[in-house]
Each structure stands twice: as structure tokens, then as C-alpha cells.
């Protein structure tokens, strides 16, 4: 035993080997609570540390310290008991059967694995200034040490496939076959636990959490966070790597934005000593997640919690001892409670920052604005109170901007999701919005989907150089014309959606007339009435099967209550991509009138207009087909074309309705 004392801390390094014939004496010594501040806890053998400043007690093997160690005839596993107090003191005791070599001495030579410092200390120092990282995060790395994850590919594959044959010692031995450094040893253990141990939701929700023995964890392959941390520590010790369990508070399963923390700690994780510094890991959260709706655990490996940068780890982990934050300056519990919680997927998907930086937002004039900065173009979506409504989300090259307009006063839940490089949107941020004023003039269409306005994504999908780069278009007369370049082989489809008026699925596209001119598409839009409308844009590669894909939409706004435009004429399949209609643009013609027609049609031999009678169109010197038609005595008028002069079959390309007399 060595006692080291300075002005800040006291550390005790002790290795206690108890043989069976000396058990009685050891028992007597431990019954003296003055000799061992944790003796009262050992009677209970659990996690509830009380008295003498001890906040968490972990017992990694199941027998009581005072149990009969010599009852079993087969070789017994050593007991390891570790305790911590709130001043950072750690006490570890190993109890071994008679004639047994301490586990970490048996596996590795003393000279190789337990080289002491110049003062003879065998355990690493408590965390100090050398371990501290600057706060806030400097955006340099998600990790606390330089890592190239590609170097772990072979080791990760191997470790994830190792199976349990007998006990913990043999498992660790098998895992270390491909590990050649302390970092690789820790990595192999981490990967195996994250891919094989399931989170026991029922056990975690029990009031008196049971202590999980490593042997039981290997058998059931289920445990709670204490079991994860204890197993990780035990396996690291067998591998000869210094590791401790750190208890504390967490923003994990069941966490509510803005909640406060008090009383018993709800989580445990680990610190490992690598390359002269302490580093943080959480194998519980690295293994998967719990569905909040079903309370079911799903294996979903999360790299984020392996050697996490402390300035990021503190967002959802608050240790009982501030030294284990590994931060300079350390954060207070109040700061931990109030700081914005960026979920691990926020950083996994390349986010850098978000504003506001507080989880509680108050609206200003009925609006709340959120911006996110990312290191690469990213797709986002949001949900306000579980619905994708009441917001305008526009994509930026490196992030997004979201304006939210809560429909009622009170408290609202805002969730923001990001897609990143995967095909799945993951929750990255949650805000609580408090609204004390509703702007009744801002009512967004329910069909206004995200994103709003053109962006890098629309360019990626083949729509370039839009005439209207802003997401909102205001029109005073209820009409507008929008154009953009379209890459070769891309077809465009558009539809109009509003909350008021009898706009059916059939007529959603009839208020839009699509024209193509020299690799640009023009959308002529006529609104049926005043209000706000979503103009949705879809694309599809012409040569590929499947449906059109939604790309973005515009928000069209018109305050003129006199607006009452009719639909455009109905077009058929033979209406060519490069055809152009100049007149008439209204799909409803007046009765008993001569109506002029002017169109540009490509690749046809003849064109005519058919009402009560047939009226031919003639080709002028500018390349337009012109003529007129009487609407007398008819309810519908059609434009028809003959594509081949040697044939007599005409095709319908446009259809007009005639007003009743």
C-alpha cells in the first residue's frame, strides 16, 4: 500500500490477496467499519452507496466478501470490488483463492504490464490537467485522440465474430489474438460488448437495480448500464489496461428536455487510460437504442461513444466527480441541465452547431427561427407536435434554416431530423417552444412539405438556375411564371395544393401549364383564389421506371381577394415536351365566341381545332400554328394533330371546356 498526498487529492493503491486459511482474519478486519468505509455496503452487496461520501458501489462478482471462498472444488474466479468517493478516490480490492496468482499478474508479466512511475506507483494517476480538453468543443475531432477508424476494420470484423466458449478469461484471450496495442485491446473489447450484449430494459427500470455478475452477463447476454460498465472494466483489467467505472447522470432513455437531475445516479460508463491520458467510453449507448414508444431494445452500433471528445461527452454524461469530465473548465450540474442537448446523431451526421443554443425557445411575433451548420450538404426535416406542419425549412449548402409558426399559444415540441449519408432520417435535436402570440396572417398549407425553395439538392436532382431562388413568391394578380434549367433526360412534374377551395387531385395540375424552351422549363401558374399555396416540384429520369420524386416546393402567396383564375386546358400524352401554347391559356372558353388559337408544335404535318365544326390551323413564317374556332353549339373544344401526312389518324393534344350559355 502506498499513500500519496498533495494539496488536492489522496490516492491509495492497494493489492490485497487473501488465501482461504487467512479468511477468518480478513473477515474480522473488514467487520470493523472504521477500517473500511465501505464495509456497511458490502453487507448489502448492491449499488446503493451511502455514508462516508461513497456515491456508487460496484461488486463485479456475486459472492459476498464474507462468503466461503473454499466451498467449491473447481478453480474459482477472483472477486473484484471497486468503490469511488466524491473526491475522486478509487479503492479496488481483489480477493483470490489460495495459491492463485492475481489475474492481471497471471496474464501479463509485471515488468511489461505494471511498470510504475519514479515513485513506484502501479496505478495511473487520477485525472488532472494533462487529461483536460478545452470547453467548448473546438470542432477539431469527435474523438479525444487522433484515430483513423479504417485501421480498425479488420479488428472490428474479427472481434464482432468472437463467441463465448467458457469464461471471461478465455473470451478476453480470444479477443486479443488480433490486438497488438492497448488501444486495439480496448477496441476489441468495446466492439465485442457493443455487438453481443443487449440492454435489459426491465432490469434497468427496477427501483433496486441488481448487480450483474460478468458470468451471468455472458450467459444471458443482457444487462443494464452498470453491468455494461462493470463488464467493460473487468475485461480491460484482464487485458492489462487501466480502466475505471464512472457513475453519474445522463440524458438518455426517458430524458425530457429541460429536466433537472437529483438523487441517485442513473447511469454508468467507463474511463480508460491510453497513451498517458484518460479517455471516455460508453458501451451501453454504443450497443444500440431503446424505442421510446415500445420500450424495446434494438442493436444499432454507435461509434460516437468510443473515445468521445469530452466536450461532446458532457452534453449527455455528467459524472459524480467533476474531474472525470476531463474538461477545462469543468461544467456545473446547472450548466449540464440547461445546455442544449445535441444527440449523438447530430455529430455522426456531420453537424457542427445549432442556434439557439438553449433547448427552450420563446417565439417573437409568433415565429421561432432555428439554424444548423453542417460540414457538408445535408437533408433535414422537422416535426412540430408530431406533424410536419407549420414551418418553412430551407436547405443551405452547409446547413439549414427553419422558421416555425406554432398554430396555438402554449408549449410545443419541435424535433429536427437529419439524413446524412444514410437513407434514414435520425433525430438530432429537440426544442421546447413557448408561444405567447399567434400571427393569424401566417397560415401555411398543410401540404407544404420540406424543403421549401430550390437548393443544392434540387441541383443534384437536375433542376438548375431557377428564376426564383427564394422559397416564397408573392403575386398581386394571382399569376406567376417560374422557370429553371433542366438537365438532359429529366422530366418535371408540378402540382398546386391549398387548404381552401375545391381543388381536387384532378385539378391540382390544371392550374399549372408547363412549357419547355431551349433546355429550360417554364411553369405558368394561375391561382383559383387568394390565399397561400404549395407548388410542388417532382422529377424523374425519363428512361427509368418508377414514380416521380419530390424535390422541393415554393410557397405562393396572394392577398388579392378578387383573384379567381380558371384552370388551364387539359393536356394529353401527345402534347410534346417542347410544345408551346400562347393562346388561349384559359381552359374554359366563352360560349358563342370566335376564339383565336396560337401554338408552336413540333414534328407534325397538320393541326386543327374541333368544336361543333372543324377549324384548320395554318403554319406561319414564325413557326406557329394559328387559326380560330367558334364555340357556338358545343360544350368542349379539342386541339388535334396529324403526325404523319401519309396517315389519316389525328391525335388529341389539348381539351377546353365551354361555358354554359
CATH number at residue 210: 3.10.620.30
397 and 332 co-located in one domain: no
Q: Is residue 501 part of a domain?
A: yes
Contact between 342 and 356 (Cβ < 8 Å): no
pLDDT at 189: 98
Q: Is residue 56 part of a domain?
A: no
The distance from CA 336 to its chain's CA centroid, rounded to whole angstroms, is: 21
Q: How far apart are the first and last CA of the chain?
A: 108
464 and 515 co-located in one domain: yes
What values do phi and psi take at 229, rounded to 5?
A: -65, -40
pLDDT at 575: 82
Tens of pLDDT, residues 340-368:
899 999 999 999 999 999 889 999 999 99
CATH number, domain containing residue 629:
2.60.40.10
184 and 309 co-located in one domain: yes
Q: Is residue 75 part of a domain?
A: no
Write out the residue range of the structural domain in which residue 600 sits.
570-658
**Which of 112, 96, 91, 111 minimizes the C-alpha distance to 185?**
112
Q: Is residue 229 part of a domain?
A: yes
The string of DSSP codes covering 550-571 is EEEEEEEEE--TT----PPPEE
Tally of domains within the chain? 4
**Which of 348, 286, 270, 244 minimizes the C-alpha distance to 159?**
286
Residue ranges for the chain with pLDDT beneath 50: 1-75, 84, 86-89, 98-121
Residue 553 grid cell: 416546393
575 and 639 co-located in one domain: yes
362 and 484 co-located in one domain: no
pLDDT at 80: 55
Tens of pLDDT, residues 359-392:
899 999 999 999 999 999 999 999 999 999 999 9
Could you give the count of Cα atoms lying within 13 Å of 311 in the half-sphere of its Cβ?
A: 18
Domain final position from 435, 466, 496? 435
Sole residue written with cell 434494438: 298
408 and 271 co-located in one domain: no
pTM, 2 dp:
0.74
Question: Rounded to whole angstroms, how far apart are CA atoms 241 and 601?
Answer: 79
The distance from CA 349 to its chain's CA centroid, rounded to whole angstroms, is: 7
Domain final position from 272, 304, 337? 337
- Residue positions annotated with a catalytic role: 225, 267, 282
Q: What H or E segment, with its residue span, contains residue 541?
A: strand 531-541
353 and 497 co-located in one domain: no
Question: Rounded to whole angstroms, how far apart are CA atoms 110 and 104?
Answer: 9
586 and 509 co-located in one domain: no
**16-52: string of b/e by CB count within 10 Å (b at 16+)?**
ebbebeebeebeeebeeeeebbbbebbeebbbebeee
Q: Is residue 512 part of a domain?
A: yes
506 and 475 co-located in one domain: yes
**Which of 279, 9, 331 minimizes the C-alpha distance to 144?**
279
DSSP 339: B
Tens of pLDDT, residues 192-228:
999 999 999 887 777 665 678 888 999 999 999 999 9
Sole residue written with cell 415536351: 577
Q: Is residue 581 part of a domain?
A: yes
Contact between 241 and 184 (Cβ < 8 Å): no
The verdict on whether omega for the bond into residue 499 sits within 30 degrees of 0, i.e. cis, is no
DSSP 342: -
Task: Report the interhelical angle of 225-238 vs 168-175 (nearest 10°).
Answer: 70
Domain final position from 307, 337, 367? 337
304 and 368 co-located in one domain: no
Rounded to whole angstroms, what are the CA distances from 208 to 223, 264, 266, 268, 513? Answer: 14, 11, 12, 15, 68
Q: Is residue 102 part of a domain?
A: no
608 and 545 co-located in one domain: no
Q: Is residue 133 part of a domain?
A: no
188 and 297 co-located in one domain: yes
Residue 413 grid cell: 415540441
The verdict on whether omega for the bond into residue 136 sits within 30 degrees of 0, i.e. cis, is yes
Amino acid at each position: 500500500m502506498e499513500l500519496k498526498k498533495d494539496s488536492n487529492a489522496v490516492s491509495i493503491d492497494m493489492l490485497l490477496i487473501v488465501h482461504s486459511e487467512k479468511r477468518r482474519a480478513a473477515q474480522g478486519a473488514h467487520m470493523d467499519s472504521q477500517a473500511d468505509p465501505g464495509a456497511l455496503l458490502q453487507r448489502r452487496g448492491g449499488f446503493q452507496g451511502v455514508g462516508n461520501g461513497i456515491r456508487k458501489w460496484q461488486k463485479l462478482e456475486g459472492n459476498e466478501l464474507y462468503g466461503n471462498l473454499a466451498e467449491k472444488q473447481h478453480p474459482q474466479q477472483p472477486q473484484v470490488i471497486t468503490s469511488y468517493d466524491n473526491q475522486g478516490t478509487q479503492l479496488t480490492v481483489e480477493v483470490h483463492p489460495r495459491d492463485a496468482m492475481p489475474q492481471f499478474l497471471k496474464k501479463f508479466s509485471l515488468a511489461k504490464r505494471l511498470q510504475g512511475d519514479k515513485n513506484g506507483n502501479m496505478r495511473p494517476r487520477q485525472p488532472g490537467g494533462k487529461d483536460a480538453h478545452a470547453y467548448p468543443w473546438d470542432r477539431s475531432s469527435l474523438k479525444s485522440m487522433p484515430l483513423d477508424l479504417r485501421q480498425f476494420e479488420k479488428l472490428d470484423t474479427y472481434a464482432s465474430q468472437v463467441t463465448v466458449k467458457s469464461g471471461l478469461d478465455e473470451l478476453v484471450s480470444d479477443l486479443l489474438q488480433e490486438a497488438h496495442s492497448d488501444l486495439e485491446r480496448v477496441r476489441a473489447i468495446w466492439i465485442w460488448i457493443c455487438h453481443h450484449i443487449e440492454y435489459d430494459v426491465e432490469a434497468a427500470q427496477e427501483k433496486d437495480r441488481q448487480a450483474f455478475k460478468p458470468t451471468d452477463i455472458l450467459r444471458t447476454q443482457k444487462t443494464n448500464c452498470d453491468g455494461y460498465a462493470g463488464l467493460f472494466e473487468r475485461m480491460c483489467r484482464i487485458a492489462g489496461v487501466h480502466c475505471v467505472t464512472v457513475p453519474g447522470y445522463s440524458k438518455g432513455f426517458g430524458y425530457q428536455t429541460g429536466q433537472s437531475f437529483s438523487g441517485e445516479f442513473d447511469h454508468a460508463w467507463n474511463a480508460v487510460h491510453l497513451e498517458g491520458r484518460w479517455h471516455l467510453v460508453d458501451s451501453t449507448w454504443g450497443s444500440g437504442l431503446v424505442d421510446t414508444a415500445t420500450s424495446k431494445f434494438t442493436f444499432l452500433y454507435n461509434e460516437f461513444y468510443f473515445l468521445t471528445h469530452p466536450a461532446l461527452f458532457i452534453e449527455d454524461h455528467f459524472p459524480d466527480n467533476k474531474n472525470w469530465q476531463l474538461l477545462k473548465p469543468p461544467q456545473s450540474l446547472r450548466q449540464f441541465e440547461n445546455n442544449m442537448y445535441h444527440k449523438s446523431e447530430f455529430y455522426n451526421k456531420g453537424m457542427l452547431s445549432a442556434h439557439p443554443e438553449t433547448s427552450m425557445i420563446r417565439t417573437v411575433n409568433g415565429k421561432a427561427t432555428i439554424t444548423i451548420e453542417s460540414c457538408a450538404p445535408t437533408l433535414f426535416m422537422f416535426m412540430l407536435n408530431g406533424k410536419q406542419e407549420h414551418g418553412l425549412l430551407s436547405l443551405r449548402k452547409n446547413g439549414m434554416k427553419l422558421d416555425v409558426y406554432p398554430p396555438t399559444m402554449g408549449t410545443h415540441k419541435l424535433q429536427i431530423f437529419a439524413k446524412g449519408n444514410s437513407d434514414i432520417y435520425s433525430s438530432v435535436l429537440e426544442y421546447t417552444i413557448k408561444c405567447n402570440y399567434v400571427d393569424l396572417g401566417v397560415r401555411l398549407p398543410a401540404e407544404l412539405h420540406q424543403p421549401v425553395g430550390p437548393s443544392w439538392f434540387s441541383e443534384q436532382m437536375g433542376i438548375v438556375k431557377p428564376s426564383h431562388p427564394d422559397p416564397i413568391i408573392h403575386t398581386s394578380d394571382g399569376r406567376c411564371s417560374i422557370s429553371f434549367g433542366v438537365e438532359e433526360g429529366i422530366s418535371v412534374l408540378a402540382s398546386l395544393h391549398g387548404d381552401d377551395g375545391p381543388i381536387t387531385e384532378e385539378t391540382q395540375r390544371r392550374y399549372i401549364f408547363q412549357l419547355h424552351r431551349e433546355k429550360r422549363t417554364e411553369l405558368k401558374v394561375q391561382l383559383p383564389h387568394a390565399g397561400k399555396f404549395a407548388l410542388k416540384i417532382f422529377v424523374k429520369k425519363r428512361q427509368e421506371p418508377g414514380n416521380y420524386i419530390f424535390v422541393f416546393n415554393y410557397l405562393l402567396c396572394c392577398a388579392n381577394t378578387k383573384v379567381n383564375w380558371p384552370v388551364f386546358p387539359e393536356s394529353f400524352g401527345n402534347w410534346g415536351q417542347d410544345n408551346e401554347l400562347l393562346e388561349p391559356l384559359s381552359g374554359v372558353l366563352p360560349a358563342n365566341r370566335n376564339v383565336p388559337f396560337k401554338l408552336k408544335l413540333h414534328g407534325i404535318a397538320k393541326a386543327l381545332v374541333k368544336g361543333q365544326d372543324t377549324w384548320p390551323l395554318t403554319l406561319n413564317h414564325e413557326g406557329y400554328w394559328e387559326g380560330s374556332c367558334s364555340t357556338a353549339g358545343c360544350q368542349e373544344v379539342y386541339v388535334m394533330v396529324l403526325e404523319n401526312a401519309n396517315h389519316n389518324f389525328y391525335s388529341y393534344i389539348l381539351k377546353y371546356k365551354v361555358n354554359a350559355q
